[in-house]
């Protein structure tokens, strides 16, 4: 009897693991952009600011928030780079506090509450959309309307076409489970 239970448990765990692994490759989600109060560029790799600038220039919002702003030359995560993409300084909102996707979400939600905003386009890399949507919706609790817009790399590549695709996949696989278990609250 114990042997049958162990075999059944092993099969169930194996099936769940296979489903989890299969789902981990699905990072193709992206909403169609809609008019919003603000476009939010989640800091990270290249391509995100370019996509946020395209949305701004297409008139989807009057403001672009960069979270966090990091003033390192060559890093497209600062006011100067945004201006180079055609976003005027008076349309930029700078957040210097965020340290993770979780703190991005809390900073944005706090800002939106303080400024009576109700909608935002959240721009991040295509591989990062799933985790971003997970934590933003968890923290949002239905108060705001978020649309998630995927940005490709600066060269226009999907995450799985890059040379570091295995690292990207593995990193996001671990991080999404870290978030699902609520451990993000204990780290930056």
Q: Is residue 20 part of a domain?
A: no
- Side-chain-facing half-sphere of 20: CA atoms under 13 Å: 13
Q: What is the CATH number of the domain that holds 57?
A: 3.40.50.620
pTM of the model: 0.83
- The token pair at 11 is 């099969």
Q: In this structure, are residues 121 and 147 in contact, taking their beta carbons and an 8 Å threshold? A: yes
Q: What does the pLDDT look like over 162-173, one tens digit per residue?
A: 777 787 778 888
Residue 19 inside a domain? The answer is: no
* CA dist 35 → 118, 163, 170, 178, 187 (Å): 11, 35, 34, 32, 34
pLDDT at 22: 63
| Residue 57 lies in domain | 26-154+163-186
Residue 177 lies in a domain: yes
pLDDT band for position 73 (cuts 50, 70, 90): confident
Return the structure tokens found at 19: 């489903």
Sheet holding 92-94, edge to edge: 92-94, 64-67, 38-42, 119-125, 145-151
Question: Residue 187: pLDDT band by 50, 70, 90 thresholds?
Answer: low
The reply to whether 13 falls in a domain is: no
Q: ω before 177 within 30° of 0 (cis)?
A: no
Decide if 12 is inside a domain. no
User: Does 36 reside within a domain?
Assistant: yes
Count the neighbouring beta carbons within 10 Å of the beta carbon of residue 7.
10
Those residues with Cβ within 8 angstroms of residue 111's Cβ, 6 or more apart along the chain or in another chain: 65, 93, 95, 117
The predicted-structure confidence for 2-40, as pLDDT tens digits, reads as follows: 888 888 777 877 776 766 666 666 666 788 999 999 999
Q: Which pLDDT belongs to residue 148?
A: 95
CA proximity to 24, closest of 185, 183, 179, 188: 179
* Contact (CB, 8 A) for 79 and 66: yes
**Contact criterion met (CB below 8 Å) for 40 and 122:** yes
Inside any domain, residue 48: yes
Nearest partner of 46 among 106, 139, 123, 115, judged by Cα: 123
Establish if 47 belongs to a structural domain.
yes
Q: Which residues contact 43 (CB under 8 A, 6 or more apart)?
A: 66, 67, 68, 69, 70, 77, 98, 104
Stretch 74-83: mean pLDDT? 86
Domain count, the chain: 1
């Amino acid at each position: 009897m114990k042997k049958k239970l162990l075999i059944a448990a092993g099969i169930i765990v194996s099936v769940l693991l296979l489903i989890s692994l299969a789902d981990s490759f699905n990072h193709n989600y992206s909403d169609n952009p809609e008019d919003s109060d603000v476009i939010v560029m989640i800091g990270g790799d290249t391509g995100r600011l370019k996509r946020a600038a395209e949305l701004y220039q297409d008139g989807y919002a009057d403001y672009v928030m960069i979270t966090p702003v990091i003033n390192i030359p060559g890093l497209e995560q600062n006011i100067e780079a945004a201006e180079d993409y055609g976003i005027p300084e008076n349309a930029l909102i700078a957040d210097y506090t965020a340290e993770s996707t979780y703190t991005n979400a809390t900073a944005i939600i706090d800002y939106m509450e303080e400024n009576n905003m109700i909608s935002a386009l959240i721009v991040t890399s295509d591989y990062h959309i799933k985790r971003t949507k997970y934590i933003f919706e968890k923290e949002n609790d239905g108060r705001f309307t978020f649309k998630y817009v995927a940005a490709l790399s600066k060269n226009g590549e999907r995450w799985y076409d890059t040379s570091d695709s295995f690292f990207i996949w593995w990193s996001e696989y671990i991080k999404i489970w870290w978030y699902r278990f609520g451990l993000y609250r204990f780290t930056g």
